Structure 1
Amino acid sequence: MPKKRGYHHGNLREALVDAALALIEAKGPSGFTLSEAAKQAGVTPAAVYRHFAGREDLIAEAARQGFEIFADLMEFAHAKGQPSALASFESVGRAYLAFARKYPGHYISMFESGISLNRSPELAQVSGRAMAVLERAAADLSEHIPPEKRPPSRMVAEHIWAMSHGVVELFARGEPGTKSPFPPEDLLESGIGVYLRGLGLIKPDS
């Protein structure tokens, strides 16, 4: 356990978020107390309340920071696939899996803690930025379809988001339960392909 130290340089808030992320990974979002987060950060429990009103506020900040990383990663993945709309779309899906693996504490805070995305304007804004990348990628795929026949890009984005989340939860997090002989990336890519072909967004031989 780290020794207690002063945070006069202004890093206490980040130290508490880092402590919360470690505890969330180990115990889940409801499995720790603010006192435990303070102990992990090496400060007194009273120090926590100078920055966070309670545990949910601390988790919400972890989620906000996670969405910042997530949105940046999604935007990078989308740009990496250009100029191919399909490559960009698939790249965004792979980025989702990569984020869940690399930042499990953030991922849990964002999607499994029960924290509302509308808890603060900042959290709502950054979570919307992440969804907007996927929605833009979906819109690019349907440009060749007459407007009156295009599926709503928001609907497509949410379907793929749900599929990605399901693959992460069942196969990519390394938790006990369902196993698959196929890599999560292959499961997601093939599932996306079947879905997009069914909507006519990509050709059957693509």
Structure 2
Amino acid sequence: MTETSKHIKELQLQIARYENEQAFADLFRLLYDRLLRFCIQYVQSPEAAEEIVSDVFVKIWNRRTALLEVDNLEVYLFVAVKNHSLNYLEQYSPLRIIPVDTGLAQLSTAMDPEKEMEWKEMLMKLDLEVNRLPDQCRKVFRLIKEEGFKYRDVAAILNISPRTVETQLFRAIRRLNEAIGHYRPGRSKTGKLNPPFLLLISVLPFLL
């Protein structure tokens, strides 16, 4: 269990057993942004996503004593947001697409200054390609790469099998590899790995 998971578990017990409002506020601050990003993938509207995520938290507080029966609150909240998002989509049609930051620019790299332009161009291309991934493929990629969930957690959130998660994940990797194929010159003259190849190495630990 990660430190974040342990912290969520402690907050969960404080909320369920002692109706601790400060613990609830801490839980809200800890997970709100992540849940909001996830929700936007469904409803494509920041305003609607804010309303949905807030509503989920309200319901969690109103049913706080039932949290003692929840094994993994983090996954439970993502599932709740997904279900609320699907209910929203049954009533409203998305009118616009809101670009979502994939966080790829935050990946570390031993970038050579002379490669900066190539690096920025590749990141823009990757960001575009992530947004172009098929719906389920994109959700799987973001839940694992951005949110740090394991296969079984993503399977529970999206209500698919771990095998499907694996298939969708590597489909995403293949698409992204193809998208930046012409950016990958291999090794530089000094023998050091060039930025695009380092990007792939940086991405993979989040995925496997």
TM-score by length of 1: 0.31
TM-score by length of 2: 0.31
